[in-house]
Amino acid sequence: MLEILIVDDEQEISGALKDFFTAKSYKVLVANNGEEALNTVRKHRPHLVFLDIRMPKMDGLSVLRNIRELDKSIKVIMVTAFGTREIVNEAMRLGAVDFIRKPFTLEYLEHDVMEKVNVQLFEDLRNEIDGKDELIDQLQKLNKRVSRNFYQTMLSLATALEGRDQYTHGHSERVDLYSKLIAEELKDKKTTAITNKFLDDLHIESRLHDIGKIAVPDGILNKPNRLTNEEFNEIRRHPGESARILAPLEGIKDHIDVVYSHHERVDGTGYPERKTKESIPLRARIIAVADAFDAMTSDRPYRKAMTRKAAFTELEKNKDKQFDATVVDAFFNAYNKKKDKSNKEAMELIL
Q: Which is nearer to Fe ion, 95 or 301 (CB)?
A: 301
**Per-residue contact flags (x/-) with Fe ion for residues 289 to 328, judged by CB under 5 A:** --x-------------------------------------
- Are the C-beta atoms of 49 and 5 separated by less than 8 Å? yes
Instruction: Identify which of 95, 35, 98, 99 has the alpha carbon closest to the alpha carbon of residue 71.
Output: 95
Question: What is d(CA 183, CA 202) in angstroms, rounded to the nearest whole number?
Answer: 9
Question: What is d(CA 155, CA 131) in angstroms, rounded to the nearest whole number?
Answer: 36
Spatial neighbors of 297 by CB under 8 A, at least 6 apart, are 305, 306, 307, 308, 311
Nearest distance from C-beta of residue 207 to Fe ion, angstroms: 11
Q: Which is nearer to Fe ion, 99 or 178 (CB)?
A: 178
Nearest distance from C-beta of residue 147 to Fe ion, angstroms: 23
Q: Which is nearer to Fe ion, 52 or 201 (CB)?
A: 201
Nearest distance from C-beta of residue 319 to Fe ion, angstroms: 20
Count of residues that bind Fe ion according to CB under 5 A: 2
By CB under 5 A, tell whether 185 contacts Fe ion: no
Q: Which is nearer to Fe ion, 98 or 201 (CB)?
A: 201
Stretch of 31-39, 50-58, 203-211, 341-349 lying at the interface with Fe ion (CB under 5 A)? 203-211
3 state SS of 50: strand
Q: Exposure of 102 by Cβ count < 10 A (0-12 exposed, 13-18 middle, 19+ buried)?
A: middle
Choose, by CB under 5 A, the member of 210, 234, 241, 264 that binds Fe ion: 210
Q: Exposure of 346 by Cβ count < 10 A (0-12 exposed, 13-18 middle, 19+ buried)?
A: buried
Q: Which is nearer to Fe ion, 95 or 240 (CB)?
A: 240
Which residues pair with residue 4 across a beta bridge? 28, 48
- Tell me which residues touch Fe ion (CB under 5 A): 210, 291
